[in-house]
Amino acid sequence: MNIAALHAAYAMGHESPEQVVLAIYSRIEAEGVQPVWISIVPREKALARAKALPAEDKSKLPLYGIPFAVKDNIDVAGMATTAACPAYSYLAAESATVVTLLQQAGAILIGKTNMDQFATGLVGTRTPYGICSSVFDKRYISGGSSAGSAVAVASGLVSFSLGTDTAGSGRVPAMFNNIIGLKPTRGVVSTNGVVPACRTLDCVSVFAETALDAALVLSVAGAYDEKDPYSRAPETGDGASPWAAATSFRFGVPAAATLEFYGDHFNPQLYKTAVEALIALGGTPVEFDLTPFLQVAQLLYRGPWVAERYAAISTFIGAHKDEMDPTVAKIVSGAANYSAVDTFEASYSLETLKRATKPVWNTINMMLLPTAPKTFTIEEIAEKPIERNSILGHYTNFVNLLDLAAVALPAGMRPDGLPFGVSLIGQAFSETALLPIADKLHRNLAKTLGGSNRSLTDAPALAASQPPHGCLLMAVVGAHLSGQPLNWQLTQRGGRLVRTCRTSPQYMFYALKNTTPPKPGLVRIPGFQGPGIEVEVWALPANTVGTFVEGVPQPLSIGTLQLEDGTLVKGFLVEPTGTEGALDITELGGWRRYLQSLK
């Protein structure tokens, strides 16, 4: 049911959106609406939507004919929003911004999915609409709060789904159901039309079978929204990830003393295997102390942020507490124990902890953590609903408080037949850089898609974007090359070498006079057929380019270079006057060969 496979089937005429919709509704009819769904779009309406999609616009609609689901705390016009609490239910007058964007891109909504009530929990059991279980074993929890959204994807009912993620609700269910769970940077996807849990922290998340599908959905859903006061768009250089284009990167692994699996016997080895796989992909592990991150996590449910949950439904809970799930009511009611003073003191603690965690990002590009330490049966959660829920959030609760991005991905199967998962976590706006690495790691650790026996290798891979997010590609030809005297001007700005190649043949190359340190000059001569000049292409964070260019002396300048494969990048050129009296070294094909010729 992955997007690429459906689009291929549509293109070859093997299937149509109407046939796909009919097959989904036949399954729902046979299996029942609950516990996966709270409500579904009437079959006739979904079928009409499929038929109305213009066949000639397939290429213009990135989600043409793709079935999806949304968590039932996300508004859909004309449908009830319950947040898994019947007494809270209301009829939505208009759709959430993200739903509108997806439908405009050609996606077909199937229905609204089950969840932990008011998005309070990581278990998927706090709902009156039936308990979702892992698609691999009905005795085990599906994870929450986005339980039904994860199960709908893992069981092949839809190609992707929307969840929400405040404490890990878009990631923990991904692990327990062997799928991708993307938690974008806060504000990248609009929360307009979403029932808030903690409004300052909430994110709309994406579940999909592959990282490629998640990236495609994000490309549609991630848009600045004036209706959402927390909506954000990255500014120049935000989330710059020059390492994403390099052949090597650094990833953080918790020091052994801060790595916790709560007695689980299988997950430690699977995590070790994931670390080894990421090393094989070019990563260098860097140990770090997870302690301050865990201290941040404690603030979310053991601090005044729980008062935000109360603020979201304060009027309702005052009149309907007895109609709520007892565990949810207990957690949210706990807000009464916190004062304004507590809130400010916790805010001060958070800022102190942010300062403590910041140095870690000077040594790593991303973290690799278990998505959850272990899993539990439905019965075990019932025995200790709050304590065991807290265990599930061990590696997820700090992420939104620290304004980080995360991708949860499958990381192999345990001997007992349950899936394990890991998460790549990066700084704000790094999700587009994390996704291609998550895709490679996914393919190294897993074999099948979701709960099916379909092979992951049959699904297309996700290529890293060029240039990397927040970066500009800069070609250098002389003193800025690796090992040369001005290379520090790139490395100190966070630049990373992408590749070594040559320009197109239309360039002449000169050793300039009276430059310190010695520098060459590159001139494009239309029609000239030379050997092409060796260049290094570097990815440079876009917000550092201005200071880099400011340091370029006459007669050099930054212009546009054409590489041997036709690619256009920025790079060093020389003004025509700079070649007066200069030595033509074109036939040597590069600065290093010229320097060698002087020895």
Active site residues: 71, 145, 169
Strands 568-574 and 471-476: parallel
Strands 160-165 and 203-208: antiparallel
d(CA 227, CA 69): 23
Q: Which residues of 507-534 are buried (b: 16+ CB within 10 A; e: fewer)?
A: bbbbbbeebeebbbbbbeeeeeebebbb
51: Cβ–Cβ under 8 A, 6 or more apart, which residues? Answer: 17, 18
d(CA 303, CA 306): 7
d(CA 325, CA 118): 10
d(CA 158, CA 169): 19
Handedness of CA 27, 30, 149, 434 (dihedral sign): negative
499: Cβ–Cβ under 8 A, 6 or more apart, which residues? Answer: 536, 537
d(CA 370, CA 389): 16
Report residue 282 as tokens.
């070019």
Nearest to 117 by CA among 38, 183, 193, 34: 38
* Cβ atoms of residues 204 and 194 within 8 Å: yes
* Cβ atoms of residues 315 and 276 within 8 Å: no
Nearest to 167 by CA among 150, 154, 192, 186: 186
Strands 37-40 and 568-574: unpaired
* Cβ atoms of residues 483 and 577 within 8 Å: no
Among all chains, which residue has been given the structure tokens 């990833």?
251
The residues facing 503 across adjacent strands are 563
Q: Cα angle at 247 between 243 and 248, to 5 degrees?
A: 65
